[in-house]
Amino acid sequence: MAVGNVIEKKHSGANSRDIIPAARPL
């Protein structure tokens, strides 16, 4: 999950606090 969090954070800077893969379906 740590890796996913890092990727999500980089992908979504504005939604850094909302780091949830389920909430952000790519």
Radius of gyration of the chain from its Cα atoms, rounded to whole angstroms: 8
Alpha carbon of residue 8 to chain centroid: 2
Return the percentage of the chain with pLDDT > 90, whole number.
0
Q: How many CB atoms neighbour CB 22 within 10 A?
A: 5
pLDDT score at 16: 54
pTM of the model: 0.16
- Per the CB < 8 A criterion, the answer to whether 15 and 24 are in contact is yes
Give yes or no for residue 24 having a pLDDT over 60: no
What is the four-CA torsion angle of 24, 11, 9, 19, rounded to 10 degrees? 0
